[in-house]
């Protein structure tokens, strides 16, 4: 929309991780199959008409979830650009500052979309249920991390990841990444009801 969906594989793209997310077998198996972040065909990604940033800055979709929800870069620049998640359910918000952070957050908590508004106990239950369905989760995660040049031992803790999502949902990053729909009304925040964590 409005030229905001330039091919993610084009010249000057923000980070060399993106082609790996869409082409490396181990990375695709984890991110598209487990984390629900599919970057295998970025040229086909297109935001729903009318979805834009309130600031007027560029909103560039580079991946999608199986549901059709969008992962988007905000503004111009390189790897430090914020990443916003736009849900077809009318929710949106920042989830990382740059692709490297997003990759690490998704390696630790690929079930994060089930997190909004849940208590710590419910979040733990969601994670436990998710992991019970994936007996080789840690092996798949570690193989994907190594394929992207990331040492699995250096990944953040699950608590740190959940705290980071909550942190990004408030303050200047959230204000700069406010997404509005086709009628100009702001979309609901992704983590609006997540309580502060210690």
Domain hosting 166: range is 17-184
Q: Is residue 141, in this structure, part of any structural domain at all? A: yes
Q: Is residue 198, in this structure, part of any structural domain at all? A: no
Total structural domains within the chain: 1
Q: Is residue 82, in this structure, part of any structural domain at all? A: yes
pLDDT band at 171 (very low <50, low <70, confident <90, very high): confident
Beta partners for residue 93, in sequence order? 85
pLDDT band at 9 (very low <50, low <70, confident <90, very high): very low
Cβ burial of 29 (10 Å; 0-12, 13-18, 19+) is middle
Q: What is the pTM of this model?
A: 0.84
Q: Is residue 110, in this structure, part of any structural domain at all? A: yes
pLDDT of residue 3: 36
Q: Mapping DSSP to helix (H, G, I), strand (E, B) and coil, where does residue 9 land? A: coil
Looking at beta carbons, which pairs linking 64-70 to residues 24 or more positions away fall under 8 Å? 64/38, 65/36, 65/37, 65/38, 65/113, 66/36, 66/38, 67/36, 69/113, 70/45
Q: Is residue 168, in this structure, part of any structural domain at all? A: yes
Q: Is residue 9, in this structure, part of any structural domain at all? A: no
pLDDT band at 118 (very low <50, low <70, confident <90, very high): low
Q: Is residue 28, in this structure, part of any structural domain at all? A: yes
Antiparallel, parallel or unpaired: β 59-64 and 70-74: antiparallel
Could you please report the per-residue DSSP string of 169-195? TSHHHHHHT-EE-TTSPBPEETTTTPP
Q: Is residue 3, in this structure, part of any structural domain at all? A: no
């Amino acid at each position: 929309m409005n030229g905001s969906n330039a091919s993610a594989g084009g010249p000057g793209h923000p980070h060399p991780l993106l082609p790996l997310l869409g082409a490396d077998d181990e990375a695709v198996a984890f991110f598209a199959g487990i984390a629900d972040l599919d970057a295998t065909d970025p040229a086909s990604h297109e935001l729903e008409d009318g979805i834009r940033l309130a600031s007027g800055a560029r909103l560039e979709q580079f991946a999608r979830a199986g549901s059709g929800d969008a992962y988007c870069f905000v503004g111009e620049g390189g790897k430090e650009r914020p990443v916003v998640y736009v849900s077809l359910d009318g929710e949106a918000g920042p989830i990382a500052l740059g692709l490297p952070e997003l990759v690490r957050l998704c390696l630790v908590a690929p079930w994060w979309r089930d997190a909004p508004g849940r208590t710590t106990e419910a979040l733990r239950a969601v994670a436990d249920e998710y992991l019970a369905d994936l007996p080789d989760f840690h092996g798949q995660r570690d193989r994907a991390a190594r394929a992207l040049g990331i040492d699995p031992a250096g990944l953040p803790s699950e608590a740190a990841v959940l705290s980071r999502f909550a942190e990004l949902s408030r303050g200047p990053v959230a204000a700069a990444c406010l997404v509005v729909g086709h009628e100009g009304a702001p979309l609901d925040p992704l983590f609006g009801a997540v309580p502060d964590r210690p």
